[in-house]
Structures are given as C-alpha cells and as structure tokens.
C-alpha cells in the first residue's frame, strides 16, 4: 500500500485562479501526449480539465482507445485507474492525482476471501457451473480471478447483459448443467439486476466472507442462482425508501431516478435506475419543466441542476451524499501531477503487475465486448410488481 505524500506547500497556498493558470499552461505544453479522464462524480473544477467524462464503462473504453498518448491522468478512484492501466499499453503511464482516492466498496472483497469462498462453493455445488462476475468497483486481483475462472467484469451500464452471458455459462459452455453466478462485491447491483431479470429474491443468497459458507446452509447455496457478495456503497446506502415516499408526497409530478447501487427497496420504489451516464442521458433528453429527484452522488446531481435550469432537480435525500474519496481529487493535486510531468517526473503512477494484468485484461475485454444500455435493469419492471 502506497500512501499519498503531502503536497509541496506551494500547491496548498495557491489561489484557485493561480492553480487554473498553471494547470492550463501545463496541460497546453503537454498537448496530445496527455489525456485527462474525469468520472461524473468529480468536482466541477476537475471536470473543466477532463478531455473525456463518463461513467466507468465509458471511461474504460476511452482508456482502451489511447494508443498515442503517453500519459493518462485518471480523475476518479483507484479501481478505475487500475483498470485504465490494464487496458492501456505499456507505453502509457496512468496516474491517480491522490492515492487516497479509493473505494470502500472495492475494499470489501479481497483475494484470500475470494479463494476461500470459491473453494467452499465448489464443494457445496458439485455438478454445477459457477461463473464469477465482478462489478468494476473491485481490485485488479479480483478481476484477474474472475477472468481466470471464465467470468467477466461488468459495470452498472451493462450488468444485465453480462449476467445473461454468465448464465449461459460465461466463457465455457453450460452443457446442460445448472449455472450459478458468484457476484462481487456489490450485493445491491447484483440483486437489483437479477430481480429485474425475473429471478425472485429467494434464488439469491448473500455471502458474508467472515462466516462459514458465507452464513448460509449448503442447501440454500446449492438451490440459489446468485451468490451475492456482502458488499455495498456507503454513499448510495444513504438513500432510503422513505425518501422516495417523501418525494411522492411533496412533488407528485416528480420522477425518481437512482443509481442501481441503491438498496433493492429504494430501486423498487423509484421510477428508473441506471448508471451515472444513463442518469445524465435521461435528464438531457427530458422536456423543460421536468422534475427529478436523483439518488446518486451529490456533485453529479448539483452539476445536472446547474446545466438544466429549466428543470427542477433535487437530491433524493436531504443528506449530503458525497463520495469523500472522489472528492480528494482537486485542483492542487491535479496541478502537482501536471507540473511534475512537465519536469519529466511521473508521480502517483498506478501500475498493475504483469501476472495480475494478464487475467484482469481478459475479464475487462469481455466486459467491453458486452455492450449495455446504461440501464442494468433492462426493461424496468412496473413499479410495485412482484416476481414469482
């Protein structure tokens, strides 16, 4: 683990206008040698300097496209920069402006726990095919495990398509055997998507890595179609079903749109759910006067409100749903990375070792080949419907 070193004092003393002048000058001097990628949850000041913005699927695609650039500065979190390093050639250096920009959800599954879970599942389900699928929000080691065992990475924009592929046996043929998906690390994205595909909740078990058999009986595991890792996003966990109820009372005309990392009961009460790019597209396509309560990170919601003053846009809950790690990427860190590059120094490089890279790349390329609609739930179930 490498920690973020404190920035040289000058970067903490510069005013925003001074930082902007220096960033623009360094970016200009580096020209086409450099590409800056910015996730939708980044602060506006960072988005101003991003060559490409997007959700994690789009930014992975952009990273994979960089054949001529020498440097990619990834303004997002660690797992995104790792994936960009895996998807770019050896001649491209990927940097994360603040090494403290991690993701608590990605940290909820590690390789030792995964190997242990895999062994227990193989013993519990003889004669079944288990296909591992990991959400993008996971370490390179988990992605490599998934790639090596016939599975794929998914994002919130193509989760349903990846799960459909996995249930056909993933990279192997099911040959008439029962197929089960082991889904890392976001139980909510897994549950929301599987439910929208028509699987009842009883066909899903949650795997708690601290407990024997993940806290389940052997029979429940054997009968299940989905084993959902016990992970979650602490930001999206702040949205609760009562928030949707409150919006229905206060603004009867308002539509509720949420990220599928929200809990199942929130997604069930919402009108729509999808990746950050899907949310952006829905607002961009909406008519003036439309009203939205959005259940996702506050920077994206605030930006959409500013960009669409003809619509009424609120955050679904009244709490500040802030991803504090995304927020660590700021102008001083960006300026520091850029000015080091100008002087020929690569700082904060994210480099995945060759062994891990090999299989993680397989899993990521499978993800990129399976397009999605941005809405992992596919056709939205009628609100309040039940699946039997």
Beta bridge partners of 293: 256, 314
Taking the least distance from each CB to ligand SF4, the nearer of 232 and 366 is 232
Please tell me whether residue 114 binds ligand 13P under the rule CB under 6 A: no
DSSP track, 263-292 = -HHHHHHSSEE--HHHHHHHHHHSPTT-EE
Please tell me whether residue 56 binds ligand 13P under the rule CB under 6 A: yes
User: Contacts with ligand 13P in 313-352 (CB under 6 A)?
Assistant: none
Cα–Cα distance, 55 to 41 (Å, whole number): 9
Among residues 155, 158, 216, 348, the one that binds ligand 13P under rule CB under 6 A: 155
Among residues 156, 192, 193, 325, the one that binds ligand 13P under rule CB under 6 A: 156
User: Contacts with ligand SF4 in 136-165 (CB under 6 A)?
Assistant: 137
Q: Which does 216 bind (CB under 5 to 8 A by kind): ligand SF4, ligand 13P, none?
A: none
User: Contacts with ligand 13P in 204-233 (CB under 6 A)?
Assistant: 233
Taking the least distance from each CB to ligand 13P, the nearer of 149 and 259 is 259
Q: For 243, left (φ over 0), alpha (ψ -120 to 50), or beta? A: alpha
Taking the least distance from each CB to ligand 13P, the nearer of 75 and 93 is 75
User: C-beta of 26: minimal distance to ligand SF4 in Å?
Assistant: 27
Among residues 225, 261, 330, 339, the one that binds ligand 13P under rule CB under 6 A: 261
From residue 199, how far is each of 87, 205, 224 by CA, in Å?
33, 12, 10
Q: Which of 242-252 are b and which e, b meaning 16 or more Cβ less than 10 Å from the residue's Cβ?
A: ebbeebeeeee
Q: Which does 326 bind (CB under 5 to 8 A by kind): ligand 13P, ligand SF4, none?
A: ligand SF4
* Residue 298 · residue 322 · CB < 8 Å: yes
Among residues 82, 225, 297, 330, the one that binds ligand SF4 under rule CB under 6 A: 297
DSSP element (H, E) containing 35: strand 34-39
Please tell me whether residue 55 binds ligand 13P under the rule CB under 6 A: yes
Convert 141-185 into a string of H (helix), E (strand) and C (coil): HHHHHHHHCCCEEECCCCHHHHHHHHHCCCCCCCCCCCEEEEEEC
- List of residues contacting ligand 13P (CB under 6 A): 40, 55-56, 137, 155-156, 233, 259, 261, 275-276
């Amino acid at each position: 683990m490498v920690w973020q070193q404190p920035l040289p004092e000058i970067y903490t003393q510069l005013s925003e206008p001074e930082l902007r002048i220096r960033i623009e000058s360094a970016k200009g001097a580096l020209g086409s040698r450099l590409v800056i990628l910015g996730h939708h949850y980044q602060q506006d000041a960072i988005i101003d300097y991003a060559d490409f913005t997007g959700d994690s699927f789009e930014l992975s695609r952009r990273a994979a496209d960089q054949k001529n650039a020498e440097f990619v500065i990834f303004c997002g979190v660690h797992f995104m920069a790792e994936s960009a390093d895996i998807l770019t050639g050896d001649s491209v250096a990927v940097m994360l402006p603040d090494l403290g920009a991690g993701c608590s959800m990605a940290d909820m599954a590690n390789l030792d726990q995964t190997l242990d879970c895999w062994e227990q599942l193989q013993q519990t389900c003889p004669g079944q095919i288990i296909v591992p699928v990991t959400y993008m929000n996971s370490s390179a080691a988990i992605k490599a495990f998934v790639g090596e065992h016939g599975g794929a990475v998914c994002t919130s924009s193509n989760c349903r398509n990846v799960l459909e592929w996995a249930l056909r046996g993933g990279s192997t043929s099911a040959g008439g055997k029962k197929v089960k998906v082991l889904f890392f690390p976001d139980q909510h994205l897994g549950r929301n998507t599987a439910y929208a595909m028509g699987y009842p909740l009883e066909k899903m078990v949650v795997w708690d890595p601290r407990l024997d058999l993940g806290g389940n009986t052997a029979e429940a595991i054997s009968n299940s179609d989905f084993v959902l890792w016990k992970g979650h996003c602490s930001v999206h966990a702040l949205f609760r079903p009562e928030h949707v109820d409150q919006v229905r009372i206060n603004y009867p005309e308002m539509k509720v749109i949420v990220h599928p990392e929200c809990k199942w009961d929130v997604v069930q009460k919402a009108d729509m759910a999808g990746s950050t790019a899907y949310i952006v597209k829905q607002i961009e396509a909406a008519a003036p006067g439309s009203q939205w309560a959005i259940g996702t990170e506050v920077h994206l919601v605030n930006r959409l409100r500013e960009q669409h003053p003809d619509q009424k846009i609120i955050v679904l809950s009244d709490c500040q749903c802030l991803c504090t790690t995304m927020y660590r990427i700021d102008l001083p860190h960006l300026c520091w990375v850029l000015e080091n590059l100008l002087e020929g120094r690569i700082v904060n490089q994210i480099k995945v070792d060759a062994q891990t890279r090999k299989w993680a790349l397989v899993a990521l390329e499978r993800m990129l080949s399976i397009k999605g609609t941005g809405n992992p739930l596919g056709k939205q179930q009628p609100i309040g419907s039940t699946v039997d």
